[in-house]
Structure 1
Amino acid sequence: MTSSAWYGLLDHRYAQYRKLRAAKVGGMGTASRYAVVACACALICLLVWTAYAGRERLEMTGPQVQLGGNPLRAGSRKLVGEQSPEGARSEGEVGKEEKRAKKASNQKMLGEQQVPRLVQEEVQELSMAERQTHKEAFECDRHSPLTDVCTLQGDVRINVETGEIVLFARDPAILRGPLSVRPHPRKWDYNAMRDVTELRIRAMDAAASQEFPHWECTSHHRAPAAVFSAGGYCGGAFHDFNEVFLPLFQTVRQLARDVVLFVADLKGPWWWRGAPAADTLVGAMTKHRIRLLGQRNDTQGEAQGVQCFERVTIGLRHHLCMYDEFGGLETRSESLAGARLSDFGPFVAAGLRAEVPSPARVQVAEGSTPVVGIVQRRGTRVLANFEAMLASAEAAGYRAVALVLEELRPQEAVRALRQLDVLVAVHGAGLANLALLRPGAVVMQILPYGEWGKGRLVGREYRNLADLQGAKYLEWHVPLQDTSLVDAYPLTDPVLMDPDSVWREQHTVAAMRIYHQQNVSMPEDMFGAYLRHIKKDLVFKEKLRAESADMTM
């Protein structure tokens, strides 16, 4: 069939359909037509009403959705701002009430509103749990590779003479029983920790406190307490700074010296460097008398009894570590410490009333005289040409200060170091005092013969300390001809000819013992050249700071 025939057939069928539809509609009565129209109108009204009702329901359930779907809490929050029985309130009054409700605590707000009793009791239980959690704690943090720190909070009592520490707990969530801790930040070192007392701390039921009359408080303190050990290798400057002074600073600096310090394992009064306890670097960190754990009397000779606190920290946090090995490298961080090493010097200087009238940062103006401190040791690693080096420093345009740190009291050492622009010292424990320098200073470490070499860590701890302090660090390596070892060993001895083999074949302690037993010298002309270069660099940095300040004005 052709396309024209198909189109003719379709037109014929469509004409028949139109006639049939017209006949059916025409046959419908008037009543039927009105019924169809009415049904259509009813359907439209139903759809409109359904949409409107759904919108109202969504608005009413808004607080419930916002509060996470809890109908009880949504209902209680909905009551804030509802109309009072006396009548409707204005929008301004509702807004004021909502502001007051936000400022009030949840407990007070729920007490003022007529909320379901179930919700009220639930919130009261949560509030009580929060208060108990905030008030009582009995836990030890052992994650650090260097130190363990325990926290006791609540009714904490310290029997100072026996060294016992007890928390009388009310919170049933606090596990009763003992914990042990050695409060010294060198826990990886077995030899050092043998000299650190292991403290046993215990949590007991508060009701049991009446059964132990010997736990009756001699004195109550609003200030918190910090307990630490001066055992291990303490007594030398390096270990005093690394394991006591810097960790203690990190632990208590936020307390503005309102902290009571308890020291365990004190080896003797000489640890205070010949000064009263209050006039030491430890005393600079507290405004209270220092207590001595395990002894009858404190540092002022008074009986100590049972001291009671609301919070006690046992052990010291340690993120200002100097050395790289045994976890020091990954632990060292001012951000983790929450403290800057450059704040240590001003902190202890203020506590000792030993600050000197100097800028907070080293500034050497052009034409002024910088100050260099040259450290002379007692015993070994002495500077053989010490007097000549002092004269060379004066000739280079410096004011030279001779420092024998072992003979200085803490206040004197702080004052002397806070005025320096440059510090020069042979490798040794005394270099730990560079933590007291001002940022921007220059540190020159003289490494004795045999202690410098590839792969050796000798002296790196002071480079780390200088970097944290914001000081410029320099090293000078003593050559063979400037060491006294040439007078103690034949030239063919491996100690002189092959130090690497000595360090490789002997124990590290044995190698250190060999190379620590020497005196050294630094040629005066070379020392003067170093100082002139340092002086130019200091003045140049000061010029840059002045120019940048002018540009910003």
Structure 2
Amino acid sequence: MNFTCFSSDFAVVNWKGSSIVSIPLAVVENSMAKQEQRSNSTTFQSTSSSMTDQLMAENVMKQREPPCHVMDLRSDLYNITGDVRIHAKSSTVFIPFPEKINLSRGHNSWKIRPYARNKDLRAMNRVREWLVIPAVSDVQVPQCTQNHTIASILFSTGGYAGNHFHDFSDIIIPLYLTSRPFNGKVQFLISDNRSWWVTKFRAILQNLSYYPIIDIDQEEDVHCFPSIIMGLRRHGELDIDPSKSPYTIRDFKEFLRSTYSLKRRNAVRLRHGDTRKPRLLVISRKRTRSFTNSTNIAETAQSMGFEVIVAEADMHVARFAEIVNSCDVVMGIHGAGLTNVLFLPEGAVMIQVVPLGGVELVAKTYFGDPSKEMNIRYLEYKIGTKESTLIEHFPLDHVALKNPYSFHRCNLEAFKSAYLDKQNVTINVRRFKPTLLKALELLHE
């Protein structure tokens, strides 16, 4: 695998000459980690003395880091206990000074952008940077003007907040992982606050914390806490790794079901001769990657025994969550709307329609793999060239249709413009019918 360029969530690659044009950074990160492990192993076998020197250097650097600093491929956070003082005007958090930290010139403070996508420079450039300073004798520590007796969590709603997928993958699920152990007795401090974002997810935020949110960037006071977590834990895309947490993604789905008072825990189970009609939700989109023939799709599905609903997600999370939870099958074109799989009852079916552009691996990583962990049956329908509205812009033998990678040549803006922003889908219902039949089959006991 040759990595040729990176941007946002995707890395454009050349995979053994295939037409796959982009993969999630999560896949790249895992590959890099394995390559690094192999490299370290080779170094150890060939030059043990240099490895010893490296370990000593790393040990010195660790001594210069504050305690409870956790950094991995996806998230960066500080978990600090003691007399924590937050001076919002200067974006500074003053922390107790443990004697075991070996400070030296140039290593007397640390920086963090509290958003859980730390390898994505485009996202992180939209996140306010905070300074962490140990309270040593030559540091002027501000006096507390507001004292709190509970723990605090500082996180950002910058980055890609506003995209429904990133809202959950980068913020909501990581916030659940980080705050759930406090059982509501924790104060949320939001940096880069967007009032509409808080309104959209108010029910979730109130179910994770008993206390009013503090828009920390706007505070004149010096807030003091007995402990603080700066940043959020993120395991992957719409994912919770049970080996790293007492919680699972199914626990999170149950949390959502409780938060929004969703009625259905399990999808319908059909028996031979059952006259019940499973409900199919067709997720529509108004701007891009939309179905141009939703009516035709609905009529075909109805003729096969489905009750069909066509709806588009919006800012009213509770309303759409109730619609999704009432359904047994959901289908939609690859995009943020499929994040609503989180509200489906267990045993339901998700059909992801994969458009042209080489997003197969992205589709699998973002929605295919996570759905299986949620106990959602996953089906994928990869459209044919003639089902894409791109044929209205390019002849059938054009490189944009035959080899997307060669077409955009690592120009991510060209990729986004052609395949994400300008492409709609006209489903060939005859070709699509077997996928709907498979969904029905999966709903039978």
Find the counterpart in structure 1 of residue 371 from structure 2. 466
What is the CA distance between 1:160 and its match in structure 2? 4.2
Find the counterpart in structure 2 of residue 271 from structure 1. 197
Percentage identity across aligned positions? 23
The CA distance in 2 between the partners of 1:243 and 1:276, in whole Å, is 15
Equivalent AA in structure 1 for residue 329 of structure 2: V
Equivalent AA in structure 2 for residue 292 of structure 1: D
Find the counterpart in structure 2 of residue 156 from structure 1. 84
The CA distance in 2 between the partners of 1:362 and 1:196, in whole Å, is 40
Equivalent AA in structure 2 for residue 288 of structure 1: Y
Find the counterpart in structure 2 of residue 32 from structure 1. none
What is the CA distance between 1:534 and its match in structure 2? 1.6
The CA distance in 2 between the partners of 1:452 and 1:261, in whole Å, is 36
1:280-359 matches, within 5 Å, as 281-296=204-219, 305-322=221-238, 333-351=241-259, 354-358=260-264
Find the counterpart in structure 1 of residue 308 from structure 2. 400
What SS does structure 1 have at the residue aligned with 2:223?
strand
Q: 406, 421, 437: which one pairs with 2:328? A: 421
What is the CA distance between 1:322 and its match in structure 2? 5.0
The CA distance in 2 between the partners of 1:294 and 1:528, in whole Å, is 53
The 1:436–1:175 alpha-carbon spacing in structure 2 relative to 1, beyond 3 Å, is: farther
The CA distance in 1 between the partners of 2:402 and 2:236, in whole Å, is 37
Equivalent AA in structure 2 for residue 308 of structure 1: C
The CA distance in 1 between the partners of 2:69 and 2:99, in whole Å, is 21
Q: Which has the higher helix share?
A: 1
- Count of residues paired in the alignment: 373
Deviations 1:299-319 (A, max 9, x none): xxxxx7333322211111111
Between 1:429-438 and 1:527-536, the stretch displaced more is: 527-536
Larger Rg over CA atoms:
1
Counterpart contact for 2:377–2:442, Cα < 8 Å: no
The CA distance in 1 between the partners of 2:222 and 2:441, in whole Å, is 59
What is the CA distance between 1:474 and its match in structure 2? 1.0
The CA distance in 2 between the partners of 1:158 and 1:396, in whole Å, is 61
The CA distance in 2 between the partners of 1:317 and 1:381, in whole Å, is 31
Counterpart contact for 1:159–1:215, Cα < 8 Å: no
The 1:257–1:477 alpha-carbon spacing in structure 2 relative to 1, beyond 3 Å, is: same
Higher relative contact order (CA 8 A, sep 6+): 2
Counterpart contact for 1:373–1:420, Cα < 8 Å: yes
Q: What is the TM-score with the length of structure 2 in the denominator?
A: 0.75
Q: 167, 175, 179: which one pairs with 1:240? A: 167
The 1:430–1:200 alpha-carbon spacing in structure 2 relative to 1, beyond 3 Å, is: same
Counterpart contact for 1:319–1:334, Cα < 8 Å: no
The CA distance in 1 between the partners of 2:89 and 2:310, in whole Å, is 43
Deviations 1:386-425 (A, max 9, x none): 12222333332223222211x2412223222223221101
The CA distance in 1 between the partners of 2:300 and 2:186, in whole Å, is 47
What is the CA distance between 1:153 and its match in structure 2? 0.4
The 1:508–1:216 alpha-carbon spacing in structure 2 relative to 1, beyond 3 Å, is: closer
The 1:392–1:440 alpha-carbon spacing in structure 2 relative to 1, beyond 3 Å, is: same
**Unaligned regions of 5+ residues in structure 2, if any?**
1-64
What is the CA distance between 1:476 and its match in structure 2? 0.7
Q: Which aligned runs of 4 or more in structure 1 are off by greater than 6 angstroms?
A: none
The CA distance in 1 between the partners of 2:325 and 2:332, in whole Å, is 16
The CA distance in 1 between the partners of 2:114 and 2:331, in whole Å, is 34
Q: 411, 425, 429: which one pairs with 1:507? A: 411
The 1:480–1:174 alpha-carbon spacing in structure 2 relative to 1, beyond 3 Å, is: closer
What SS does structure 1 have at the residue aligned with 2:74?
coil
Q: What is the TM-score with the length of structure 1 in the denominator?
A: 0.62
Find the counterpart in structure 2 of residue 11 from structure 1. none
Q: Which has the higher strand share?
A: 2
Q: CA RMSD in A?
A: 2.8
Deviations 1:132-191 (A, max 9, x none): xxxxx952534411111101101222234543322245x645668532212112211222
Deviations 1:420-451 (A, max 9, x none): 22110101122222233333221111011233
Find the counterpart in structure 1 of residue 117 from structure 2. 186
Do residues 520 (structure 1) and 436 (structure 2) align? no
The CA distance in 2 between the partners of 1:478 and 1:264, in whole Å, is 41
**Unaligned regions of 5+ residues in structure 1, if any?**
1-136, 297-303, 324-331, 541-553
What SS does structure 1 have at the residue aligned with 2:255?
helix
The CA distance in 1 between the partners of 2:369 and 2:112, in whole Å, is 29
The 1:277–1:527 alpha-carbon spacing in structure 2 relative to 1, beyond 3 Å, is: closer
Find the counterpart in structure 2 of residue 447 from structure 1. 354
The CA distance in 2 between the partners of 1:271 and 1:278, in whole Å, is 8
The CA distance in 1 between the partners of 2:237 and 2:145, in whole Å, is 37
The CA distance in 2 between the partners of 1:408 and 1:193, in whole Å, is 24
What is the CA distance between 1:246 and its match in structure 2? 1.4
The 1:221–1:390 alpha-carbon spacing in structure 2 relative to 1, beyond 3 Å, is: farther
The CA distance in 1 between the partners of 2:350 and 2:401, in whole Å, is 28
